[in-house]
Amino acid sequence: EDQVTQSPEALRLQEGESSSLNCSYTVSGLRGLFWYRQDPGKGPEFLFTLYSAGEEKEKERLKATLTKKESFLHITAPKPEDSATYLCAVLTIYNQGGKLIFGQGTELSVKP
Amino acid sequence: DVKVTQSSRYLVKRTGEKVFLECVQDMDHENMFWYRQDPGLGLRLIYFSYDVKMKEKGDIPEGYSVSREKKERFSLILESASTNQTSMYLCASSPQTSGYTFGSGTRLTVV
């Protein structure tokens, strides 16, 4: 069964304290791994797509990496505005199209 | 930018009412999806559609139905709303085999 597990469930950081979020997956044929950011009361906002092991993507203080079994979202010198829930999802092929399977998310809180 | 528009941000409905949640996308995407999101349970797929007039059940379809008469519009229907359907409902669209673009969500409260 395809499965995505994120850890930790919640993470509290001080401003400037770098850390990483983990997303481990078991899927029969990875077609892509996606990271989203979600602010309270809003829809998820796309951050990155990774397709193959060894691939890395960066955006401001965020960097996503991918191995054959997991992905990491590294946050360097975070700021309070980085506080949000970060969702990881893997793309599987289903019938004529693709379907994303989501992890439970990591709730990040950055204190000034 | 792709836009996915959900018709309402907040809705309050009574138990037993028939409820329609509307979603429109403007980028000619083939795929459209309806999720609900609840604390501790994450995103759960209700229904999805790969083409006009085509629908597939997700993980939790009970109590819901959908309609896709036009490519750009995907409607979620709660046949007889119940309090356990109080939730955040998220619509998304995507090209054939790619990631999703989400709408802003509809927070539905059933009283």
Q: Which of A49, A93, A96 sits opposite B99 (nearest CB)?
A: A49
Please tell me the predicted confidence (pLDDT) of residue A96.
60
Q: What is the pLDDT of residues A46-91, one digit of tens each?
A: 999 999 999 999 999 999 999 989 999 999 999 999 999 999 999 8
Q: What SS3 class is residue A85?
A: strand
**B85 phi/psi in degrees, rounded to 5:** -100, 5
pLDDT digits (tens, 9 = 90+) for B33-83: 999 999 888 899 999 998 898 899 998 999 999 999 999 999 999 999 999
Is residue B22 within 8 Å of B9, Cβ to Cβ? Answer: no
Of B56, B94, B105, the CB nearest to A42: B105
Around B53, how many Cα atoms within 13 Å sit in the side-chain half-sphere?
0
CB contact under 8 A, B90 and A44: yes
Fill in the DSSP letter of residue A34.
E
Peptide bond into A80 cis (omega under 30): no
